[in-house]
């Protein structure tokens, strides 16, 4: 039915305030405040990830307490722990199954560069495998550092071209140059 929005009772800016904004900004705001992590918890960093999800550090403040283990339902993969070569195929497959737009946090030294495990079985950093948006150093990083990293992802989302990101493959294009490449967070 062709009813104009101004004619709808109650929508004259009085009882039901309507916020007019750019579609991009609205989509980005929604997206950044409900960024569901895919916790690829591999090793010790996973415990600090769990601590970040628990009551004290409360990742729920960021809309991210919904840790979705299914990649189909997740936005941001947090690789927490050492990725061995045996596990690398699994990590890659789960990443590929995530729908765009998607982001990746390399949590901890092992996920960033292989950490202190310079050995025959450890992948020296998951960026050999998947594109990383935020690196968080630390062994393990404090939960606050993970939250800092998560906030960096939120900044990236906020400045991304929200609507066009629906159609483009990863990485979603960002407007600000400073946020274009990977961000590095100090973890301790």
Q: In degrees rounded to 5, what are phi and psi of residue 107?
A: -95, 120
For residues 80 and 20, what is the distance between their CA atoms, to the nearest angstrom?
Answer: 39
- Minimum distance from residue 143 beta carbon to other proteins (Å): 9
R_g over Cα of the chain:
19
Site for other proteins in 45-104 (CB under 8 A): 46-48, 50-51, 54-56, 69, 81-82, 84-94, 96
The least CB distance from residue 38 to other proteins, in Å, is: 9
Q: Binding to other proteins (CB under 8 A): which residues in 98-157?
A: 114, 116-122, 124, 128-129, 139-140, 142
Q: Give min distance, CB of 96 to other proteins, in A.
A: 8
Instruction: Give 135's contacts (C-beta < 8 A, 6+ positions apart).
Output: 105, 106, 112, 182, 183, 184, 185
The answer to whether residue 4 forms part of the interface with other proteins (CB under 8 A) is no
- When binding is defined by CB under 8 A, the residue of 27, 28, 35, 42 that contacts other proteins is 42
What are the strands of the beta sheet with 134-136, ordered from one edge? Answer: 37-41, 76-80, 103-107, 134-136, 183-185
CB nearer to other proteins: pick between 92 and 155:
92
Which residue number, 30 or 90, has a Cβ lying nearer to other proteins? 90
Q: Which is nearer to other proteins, 28 or 38 (CB)?
A: 38
CB nearer to other proteins: give 40 or 147: 40
Is the sign of the CA dihedral 73, 75, 76, 79 positive or negative? Answer: positive
The C-alpha atoms of residue 84 and residue 128 are separated, in whole angstroms, by 12
CA–CA dist 76, 36 (Å, integer): 6
Q: What angle do CA 158, 169, 104 make, to 5 degrees?
A: 60
Count the residues of the shown chain that bind other proteins, applying the rule CB under 8 A: 42
Query: Shortest distance, CB of residue 106 to other proteins, whole angstroms?
Result: 16
Q: What's the closest the beta carbon of residue 129 comes to other proteins, in angstroms?
A: 6
Binding site for other proteins (CB under 8 A): 40-44, 46-48, 50-51, 54-56, 69, 81-82, 84-94, 96, 114, 116-122, 124, 128-129, 139-140, 142
């Amino acid at each position: 039915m062709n009813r104009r929005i101004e004619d709808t009772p109650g929508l004259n800016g009085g009882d039901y305030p309507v916020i007019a904004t750019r579609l991009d900004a609205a989509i980005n705001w929604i997206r950044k405040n409900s960024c569901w992590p895919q916790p690829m918890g591999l090793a010790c960093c996973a415990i600090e990830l769990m601590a970040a999800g628990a009551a004290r550090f409360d990742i729920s403040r960021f809309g991210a307490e919904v840790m979705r283990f299914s990649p189909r339902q997740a936005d941001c993969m947090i690789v927490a722990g050492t990725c061995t070569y045996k596990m690398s195929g699994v990590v890659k497959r789960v990443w590929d199954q995530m729908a765009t737009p998607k982001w990746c946090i390399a949590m901890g030294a092992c996920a960033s560069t292989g950490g202190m495990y310079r050995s025959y079985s450890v992948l020296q950093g998951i960026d050999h495998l998947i594109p990383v948006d935020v690196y968080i150093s630390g062994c393990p990083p404090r939960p606050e550092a993970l939250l800092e990293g998560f906030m960096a992802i939120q900044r990236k989302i906020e400045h991304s071209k929200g609507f066009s990101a629906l159609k483009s493959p990863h990485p979603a294009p960002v407007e600000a140059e400073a946020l274009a490449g990977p961000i590095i967070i100090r973890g301790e």
